[in-house]
Structure 1
Amino acid sequence: MGEIISIINQKGGCGKTTTAVNLSAALSLLDRRVLVVDMDPQGNATTGFGVNKSELDSTIYTVLSRKASLRDVILPAELEDLYLAPSNISLSGAEIELSSEIGYHAILKEAMKDIMDEFDYIFIDAPPSLGILTLNALVASDSVIIPIQAEYYALEGMADLLRTINLVEERLQSPCPIKGILITLYDSRTRLARDVQREVERFFGERENIFRTRIPRNVRLAEAPSHGKPCITYDPESTGTGAYMKLAAEILDME
């Protein structure tokens, strides 16, 4: 059975989607079969894999609306053993529609049951909010990765996110431990980045794993989505690619 991991932070611009796209691609190159579930109505992970959002007939919204199975909407990505359950703006209406459904918090979890054994890792790119879509992502997940950018106010809203995770664990009896804290947009040349790293270490202490790998601020990582490719295929020699390959190896060491 594969491990389901939500990549989550309600703050935008923290490298959440970049991590979903590039970590999944890195793991597929390391002989793991990987699925990315795009749960963000912005559909940036979908675009990041070169899929035209406007031409999609079936998306993760179709699955959550119970009009299709998850298997029906999965698309192959460019890399072998890498797959995508895409999203587009249609998902934006799901928050209101699902709120009246019985067991609305577990619709994604139910949908995943049929395909869990077919993948080694399933990454959920959660939306930058703490609403019903994020709740579905957390309930479906075995663990979470929290990307935190090495910039001012990096930990803003973190208490709310941790509180939401705790509520899911306590009230819905759905354990969702933090697999790791990932520092992104890191520039070792700046004092700010080093200060943020110390702040993150102080905030989480020894309670949570902080990945050794830090994702650098990198032009190639920023350019790759506009070409519809993970950085790993856009520029295999870039420092961004190297960082995500190291992170993938770190994930595998935790198996």
Structure 2
Amino acid sequence: MRILRTIGGESGFSVLSLCYLLTVFCLTIRAVDGKRKKGPKGAVEETEAIERLSKVFGIEHAPQNNVGATPPQFMLELFNDITDAGGLIKKDGPYNASTVVSFPDRAYKNAQHFFYNVSMHETENLLESEFHVFRMSPKSNHSRHTAPHGRLSHLIEIKVFQVLDPDNMFSDNGRLLVDHKRVSTHARGWVIFNVTRSVREWAAGTRINHGFLVISQTLNGNELGEDEVRFAQRKSHHDTKQPILVVYTNDGRHRTPHYISPDDQ
């Protein structure tokens, strides 16, 4: 199984890169052990470590380093979940995917609009796709999450729409409901939505990719503003909490996991 993260360029095209994730693992291990080295010798050792880790993913050569940001928290947790301390892939990945790719947000309209430049190889079979957003603490303690009979509600509803028309996305004609979740009024953390249908349409070219629109409402249908419900935004919050699109695919090829001993130096 390969775990990749996309590094979006200024040209708008996404470049899939393994080196970033592998490099972070090397740096993390060295920092924890208190043995992080600097200079030419340290660089050589880091390169060798990346080459060893690349065996876990079944690639022959690790790409050049790209360490401009922190990889998504979800990708780090996924790596730790499916591998043991020695680098052995101990269980199948989600949905039995052979490849997991995360796309960074490239929103350009407003804080509620999230856009992902999705690219897939023609041989890849899309299994599932998830939209991950991190809910931050509200700016205001004021609450108007009232239930139908005036009682205080402990739930709000977060809806994800596929944008059909960017210039008309706040009307029903310019968007299509994809998924929705009811969450606690005061909950903080990740909210995950299934957006497989939208990504499948974008990959097949049956609909134009205009991204997603996120709307938060009371159970009465009253829209909530950023003072009450807000999400981590690209370039505005910590890298590990950036909104991401995660795509699970299978290319049909069989891969044999490569074991790396914890004592391997």
TM-score by length of 1: 0.25
Bigger share in helix? 1
